[in-house]
Structure 1
């Protein structure tokens, strides 16, 4: 997690990339940004802010090959179906699935968390080399970081990892769990008709700002300045298509079994306070997948349901469809992964699109094997803890808690730490019970 302020100077450099990815003509803006680099701090911040506003207001070029609407109504007009499925499952089975989803999310997050920063700076090939060095390739369990100093030096690992332990009796705090818990609190307090303004209020009341990152950090800061949704997602926010919203979508799927569109709509309300376009689609995609995971046995069916609720001409949908098509002709998951990096490796390591591709790859090649699936998500690199958490959540819901492998679940001890007010140390089974209660209120 970041612990410092995000300066306008940092943001404007990222905004150049973001604006170009959105299909805007940024001609001459590279030079404009470069021209203020050596200005005194206050002047540089002032000029950077002005450039951020200019870049944000640029129109999308007429020849941009994608159609990426931002409002819910526009999104609805760009999808072909609003899936809803009949679900006849008793409370005991639903509870087992919900409990499995919570545990799966925590286990995946815990597996990927220690390698998150390493992956983003060193890349997937270094993860593979590291796992070979410690005799853990292919990865199939938690990693013991009580390693020789030579390994730490060779792979430039953070020495703080030596303190990383799976014997704490609970999972550690992480934003991937914080937001799922916070969404539970939102649904409990405001009901299923919650608004984006309710989400904003819940953030300010329940989550300290230094527990947020990138897009959420900017949106939080905007909210404190009374810049309300949807402007809170847009104002000087170059992170608006990064992964932050995608990791917040799980709860909306949990509480809408068999109703992917409604889950996606909830995801939209949540995402739109901090994200736009593909950032929003990422949360809708995950929410819808989880709503359908109650009923499907095949991960491809779950992925296709998620795709059905996002615009058909969006970069995200095209990218996920690429992964599906590659997987049909390529039996080797690493070769499929290489195709992802070749075509989508230009995105930031925490962008929605490339990380969603890894989620899809892990689900497809994992083939309903929980351990294999979350380990593929980690071995694939990029945002390892976010992707493994999402994959673990989906597989946990599909399989149910009773069938999850003990080696990943027992260390959790049914206990999680979070940074959310009133949920500092919680029983995972209690979170599952509260989730089930929300379904029964419907």
Structure 2
């Protein structure tokens, strides 16, 4: 209640540092939320909701509950014991967070003008082979056998359009706040080590989406900015626009995803395109609310931990860390478990501070244009 003659003061916008920390916390929390039910061929939307219903956890507003039956317990990924309510003490190790950490290390070592070859060299130096999967493992194997980019992405690699490059993209959005095109250009240089086609476009889209979230007034505005950086005719862009159109037409979240299931059938649960549909639906129907966004995204199925991580990052940037409910942040205990050499046990707050320092240093650096029209800082 305000006194007579006074007006309520508007809530101040989050600072850059608070938005970056929100992105890191959101990515980790969303990843932890989706990790136990990551197997998309087993954990369909229907099965996830049945699990939640048996445990009395619908609507979903917190980390997943303990499994209510032995059958549920047997189907969860083994990491569930570190990821469900009451058992979380810091983040569990996962590639969706490892690549954000590795991306930070890349930019600290090589700056914003890094090359694709330097991405590969850092993988070999910092990332254990057995902690890579699908397209990343194929590219890693090719690197170890002396093959250089871009052949690392195409030689003996059946996963070129899967979701791996998209999950590596957040760091490029966090370090290019409000500059989606530059974020997408950085993400492309990273992605072509292991991906082609929609796999690369997914990384560009995700980086631009995170970048746009720093300044866009709404989720829809951020999505529009992200769509502008990828070819309008590519399947990823057509699928994202389809989700947007169904949302605008007033379809429910469930009906939107059922429609997209039919239109992306046959691509598989780790392919970039159907996962982009789940991510976009979670963001639109979540409408800027952190809890609703990550909950709907994970309930959407497919690659639940990757989608939850990206949705959490976007929602965390939009709201800022201070606005993320405490029950998502406090169990993380400001601690990251990571397979990236030299980073296990690092503080989330330290990662965010280092990200902000990179961003601010880039803003103060003189920039020249290279032959491809991409701006690079000296130094």
- Measured after TM superposition, the shift of residue 184 of structure 1 is 0.2
Separation in 1, partners of 2:287, 2:296? 11
Q: How does 1:171-320 map to 2 (within 5 A)?
A: 171-320=91-240
- Measured after TM superposition, the shift of residue 329 of structure 1 is 1.1
- Measured after TM superposition, the shift of residue 91 of structure 1 is 12
- Measured after TM superposition, the shift of residue 273 of structure 1 is 0.2
- Equivalent residue for 2:323? 403
Separation in 2, partners of 1:441, 1:216? 30
- Equivalent residue for 1:144? 65
- Runs (5+) with no aligned partner, structure 1: 1-89
Is the counterpart of residue 380 in structure 1 residue 300 in structure 2? yes
1:106 aligned to which of 28, 34, 57: 28
Is the counterpart of residue 394 in structure 1 residue 343 in structure 2? no
- Measured after TM superposition, the shift of residue 148 of structure 1 is 4.0
| 1:347–1:354 CA contact under 8 A, matched in 2 | yes
| 1:120–1:383 CA contact under 8 A, matched in 2 | no
TM (norm. structure 2) is 0.89
Separation in 1, partners of 2:71, 2:13? 52
| 2:64–2:83 CA contact under 8 A, matched in 1 | no
Q: Give a deviation string over 1:254-273, Cα, whole Å, max 9, x none.
A: 11112111100000000000
Larger Cα-atom Rg: 1
Secondary structure of the 1:120 match is coil
Secondary structure of the 2:42 match is helix
Separation in 2, partners of 1:300, 1:164? 30
1:124 aligned to which of 42, 45, 51: 45
TM (norm. structure 1) is 0.76
- Equivalent residue for 2:373? none
Separation in 2, partners of 1:146, 1:374? 20
- Measured after TM superposition, the shift of residue 132 of structure 1 is 1.4
- Runs (5+) with no aligned partner, structure 2: 1-11, 363-379
- Equivalent residue for 2:55? 134
Count how many residue pairs are aligned between Structure 1 and Structure 2. Answer: 350
Q: Give a deviation string over 1:50-102, Cα, whole Å, max 9, x none.
A: xxxxxxxxxxxxxxxxxxxxxxxxxxxxxxxxxxxxxxxx9981000000000
| 1:145–1:164 CA contact under 8 A, matched in 2 | no
- Measured after TM superposition, the shift of residue 219 of structure 1 is 0.2
| 1:289–1:306 CA contact under 8 A, matched in 2 | yes
- Equivalent residue for 1:437? 357
